[in-house]
Amino acid sequence: MINIPKGTKDVLPADSYKWQYVEAKAREISRLYNLREIRTPVFEHTELFSRGVGETTDVVTKEMYTFLDKGDRSITLKPEGTAGVARSFVENGLYSTPMPLKMYYIIPAFRYERPQAGRLREFHQFGVEVYGSTTPDTDAEVIALAHDFIASLDLKAKLYINSIGCKTCRKKFNDALKDYLRPNLERMCPDCRARFDKNPMRILDCKVPECKEVTAGAPVIVDYLCDDCRAHFESVQKYLKIAGIPYKINPKIVRGLDYYTRTVFEFVSEEIGAQGTVLGGGRYDGLIEEIGGPSTPAVGFAAGLERLLLLMEKSGAEFPQEPAPVVYFAGMDAACREKAFEIAVALRKAGIPCEIDHMNRSLKAQFKYADKLQAAFTAVIGGNELSAGVMNVKNMSDSSQHTVPFDRAVEFFAR
Ligand SMILES: [Zn+2]
Ligand SMILES: [Zn+2]
């Protein structure tokens, strides 16, 4: 017996309708905002992620599925969606197509993490990328899309936003932050001590209690924004108000990478406790340049589908069931079975879902099975019916009986 690898999960036939429901919502909302899907490979050259995700991040240093292929190339299963989209944008010269380029993806992604509820080694993401526009209404539109997606799943999550400024304002902020942290550096965790020189802003993100204590009164970047960044942030907020989307400013939300700029945001649910972020995103105007393309502004987000599904289940959200077959055919002998098969072919051609017995069950067992299937009708074709050219149809909801000629079957069930 070979078991499933640690940190992965099967989606069984009885549960896949839940996934399809969430994915359909993602596609439907994307269409409302005029986004089109982009599909990129499951694996890429490792270098793409060290440059596109960031060499110092946990994802790149500890969590990637990296291997040499038979041609000795270093290959990595994608740990997130953005880098591949950015690579495709540059490689296919999409920057010379009309802007903005509005895209979404639904992908599996891979991280070697300690598996826990809602966090697997193979997980799935719905992500959005909008390239080519610097305007604050673009940020607001991406946030509105995220908001509509979450709302369409009947989930409640609070929106927190922040601005992390541009290179200019961040330099001033980093200096102020380092001055504040320096006297307490010894009390902080080894990761934060390493971040102090490379990327001090990420210290604000640390979950270690001692570090949180130290950073509690730290300067906040919104106080250090340059005039342009401040105006951008205020405008994003104005657009969120126009959209009627409530939000709070959380100065602790940071995206530690150099290519992140200005707007960052998170949707946080209080229902899953410590790992409450269900969707996160922001603006990353420096990414395309970082991976070798022409300077191109970008804004987007990603949401983990496992976590959303977990949250929906916990909050008792409704997943519409897949429709049951309309008709179940119960036949008793070979001739009747052939007739049932023939009518099923005609019904399917007419777009009417149906099922026939494939197991040679007894008639009683077939009725039981029809009940289990929740078929709307059961059609019985026995010897008498076959010679009369009719079938005996039972409406399963009110138990009414109908005699339906074979040649009127499509008409009868199409109602
Ligand atoms: Zn700035
Ligand atoms: Zn720390």
Gap from CA of 166 to ligand 1 centroid (Å): 4
**Ligand with the closest atom to the CA of 227:** 1
Which residue, 392, 345, 396, 347, is CA-closest to 370? 396
Gap from CA of 188 to ligand 2 centroid (Å): 5
Give the number of other CB atoms < 10 A from CB of residue 198.
10
Cβ–Cβ under 8 Å, residues 250 and 160: yes
Which residue has tokens 């982009």? 38
Gap from CA of 163 to ligand 2 centroid (Å): 22
Gap from CA of 295 to ligand 1 centroid (Å): 17
CATH 3.40.50.800 in the chain is located at 327-414
**Ligand with the closest atom to the CA of 263:** 1
**Ligand with the closest atom to the CA of 169:** 1
Angstrom distance (rounded) from CA 383 to CA 4: 49
**Ligand with the closest atom to the CA of 194:** 2
pLDDT per residue, tens digit, the chain (415 aa), is 999 999 999 999 999 999 999 999 999 999 999 999 999 999 999 999 988 887 777 788 889 999 999 999 999 999 999 999 999 999 999 999 999 999 999 999 999 988 887 789 999 999 999 999 999 999 999 999 999 999 999 998 999 999 999 989 988 999 999 999 999 989 999 988 988 888 888 888 888 899 989 998 899 999 999 999 999 999 999 999 999 999 999 988 887 666 889 999 999 997 765 558 899 999 999 999 999 999 999 999 999 999 999 999 988 888 988 888 999 998 778 889 999 999 999 999 999 999 998 998 888 999 899 999 999 999 999 999 999 999 999 999 999 999 999 999 999 999 7
pLDDT score of 272: 61
Cβ–Cβ under 8 Å, residues 87 and 53: no
pLDDT score of 275: 57
CATH 3.30.930.10 in the chain is located at 16-166+226-314
Pick the CATH number of 327-414 from 3.40.50.800, 1.10.10.10, 3.10.310.30, 3.40.640.10: 3.40.50.800
Gap from CA of 59 to ligand 1 centroid (Å): 27
Gap from CA of 269 to ligand 2 centroid (Å): 24
Could you give phi then psi for residue 14, rounded to 5 degrees?
-75, -15
Annotate 159-227 with DSSP letters as a single string: EEEEE---HHHHHHHHHHHHHHHGGGGGGS-HHHHHHHHH-GGGGGG---HHHHHHHTT---GGGG--H
Gap from CA of 194 to ligand 2 centroid (Å): 9
**Ligand with the closest atom to the CA of 207:** 2
Gap from CA of 167 to ligand 1 centroid (Å): 6
Gap from CA of 184 to ligand 2 centroid (Å): 12
Gap from CA of 165 to ligand 1 centroid (Å): 4
Residue 147's identity, in one-letter code, is H
**Ligand with the closest atom to the CA of 211:** 2
CATH code for the structural domain at 16-166+226-314: 3.30.930.10
Gap from CA of 169 to ligand 1 centroid (Å): 4
Gap from CA of 249 to ligand 2 centroid (Å): 23
Gap from CA of 291 to ligand 2 centroid (Å): 29
Cβ–Cβ under 8 Å, residues 381 and 409: no
**Ligand with the closest atom to the CA of 189:** 2
Gap from CA of 191 to ligand 1 centroid (Å): 27
**Ligand with the closest atom to the CA of 283:** 1
**Ligand with the closest atom to the CA of 210:** 2
Gap from CA of 164 to ligand 1 centroid (Å): 8
**Sheet of 390-395, strands arranged across:** 354-356, 327-331, 377-381, 390-395, 401-405
Partner residues linked to 101 by β-bridges: 131
Gap from CA of 198 to ligand 2 centroid (Å): 14
